[in-house]
């Protein structure tokens, strides 16, 4: 394929990437929320969008099945960004990676006492590194979603999860007690594609960079 393939996940990343693509003159012809198509044509014959799971975007770009992609820094931190060129912080889909506990749980005290904490999370590597750096002993429990349920159901003492508005924590009687890292989405580029498709890719990357800075 001589054209450009862009890997996007549907939901907030797709929505928030649209204005950036528009600035580069790229408009997807369908919305993945309503269309069931996984390959979406754009107004440009040489550019298409593939709809992937958020955590799969780096894989598509790594193997060159997509030339560029948009992915949360959480995913890059958790899965690694080996072989990916990351030229741009797109400053979209912003949130924070936090430790949260049930309201009333004295986290500071538990840490001070050297308690062994059960932590439920989708982000095992990020959590392991965070607690190791603090010298806190933890048992990590891998979940694939709805982390907020774990402390309520008695599965864990605390969770490591993304927080944006904070309303999910609040609705479940949880409170954030520690900030791990700020998250936003990154543009990732396949290194070989950057060389071989330079003439098409660079103007797209430049247009996106200009609108991000504006
Ligand atoms: O949802 P699905 O299981 O299909 O996949 P996903 O969760 O991996 O993808 P998606 O589309 O939900 O998220 C894609 C990216 O958006 C993530 O990788 C993050 O980089 C970024 N992002 C930004 C977020 C949030 N904000 C966010 N708030 N991802 C998830 N959330 C969740 C959070 O996990 C929690 O359950 O929203 C809930 C909290 O939101 P508030 O607003 O109530 O605080
Ligand atoms: Mg989600």
Encoding tokens for residue 105? Answer: 């749980």
Integer Cα distance of 53 and 48 in angstroms: 17
Average pLDDT over residues 21-47: 97
pLDDT at 1: 63
Instruction: Give the mutation target among 10, 17, 53, 54 for probing the ligand 1 site: most ligand atoms within 8 A of CB.
Output: 54
Indicate if 106 and 157 belong to the same structural domain: yes
Indicate if 86 and 189 belong to the same structural domain: yes
Ligand 1: nearest atom to the Cα of 184: 20
pLDDT at 188 over 90: yes
Indicate if 68 and 108 belong to the same structural domain: no
- Residue 29, domain CATH: 3.40.190.10
Are the C-beta atoms of 180 and 100 separated by less than 8 Å?
no
pLDDT at 211: 97
Indicate if 88 and 102 belong to the same structural domain: no
Task: Name the residue at shortest CA distance from atom 3 of ligand 1.
Answer: 145
Averaged pLDDT score across all residues of the chain = 96
For 44, the domain range is: 4-93+184-213
- Of 68, 66, 98, nearest in space to 185 by CA: 68
Encoding tokens for residue 182? Answer: 């700020």
Task: Name the residue at shortest CA distance from atom 8 of ligand 1.
Answer: 54
112-144 confidence digits (pLDDT tens): 999 999 999 999 999 999 999 999 999 999 999
Indicate if 16 and 89 belong to the same structural domain: yes
Indicate if 190 and 88 belong to the same structural domain: yes
pLDDT at 104: 96
Residue 186, beta-bridge partner list: 71, 89
Indicate if 108 and 176 belong to the same structural domain: yes
167 lines ligand 1 (CB under 6 A): yes
pLDDT-derived band at 82 (thresholds 50, 70, 90) equals confident
Domain tally for the chain?
2
Average pLDDT over residues 83-95: 93
CA–centroid distance, residue 162 to ligand 1 (Å): 7
Ligand 1: nearest atom to the Cα of 72: 20
Task: Name the residue at shortest CA distance from atom 20 of ligand 1.
Answer: 72
Indicate if 59 and 165 belong to the same structural domain: no
Ligand nearest to the CA of 14: 1
pLDDT at 122: 98
pTM of the model: 0.95
93 lines ligand 1 (CB under 6 A): yes
- Of 160, 181, 182, 202, nearest in space to 68 by CA: 202
Indicate if 63 and 110 belong to the same structural domain: no
Task: Name the residue at shortest CA distance from atom 23 of ligand 1.
Answer: 93
pLDDT at 179 over 70: yes
């Amino acid at each position: 394929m001589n054209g450009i393939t862009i890997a996007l996940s549907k939901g907030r990343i797709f929505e928030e990437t649209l204005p950036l693509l528009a600035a580069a003159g790229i408009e997807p012809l369908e919305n993945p929320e309503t269309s069931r198509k996984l390959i979406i044509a754009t107004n440009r014959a040489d550019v298409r969008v593939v709809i992937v799971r958020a955590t799969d975007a780096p894989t598509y770009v790594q193997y060159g099945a997509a030339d560029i992609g948009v992915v949360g820094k959480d995913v890059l931190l958790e899965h690694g960004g080996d072989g990916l060129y990351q030229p741009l912080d797109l400053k979209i889909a912003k949130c924070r990676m936090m430790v949260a506990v049930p309201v009333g749980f004295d986290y500071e005290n538990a840490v001070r006492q050297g308690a062994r904490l059960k932590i439920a999370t989708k982000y095992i590597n990020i959590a392991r590194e965070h607690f190791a750096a603090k010298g806190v002993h933890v048992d990590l429990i891998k979940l694939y979603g709805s982390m907020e349920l774990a402390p309520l159901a008695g599965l864990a003492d605390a969770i490591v999860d993304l927080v944006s508005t904070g309303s999910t924590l609040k609705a479940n009687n949880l409170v954030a007690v520690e900030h791990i890292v700020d998250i936003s989405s990154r543009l990732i580029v396949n290194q070989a594609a950057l060389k071989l498709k330079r003439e098409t890719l660079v103007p797209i990357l430049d247009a996106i960079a200009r609108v991000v800075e504006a």
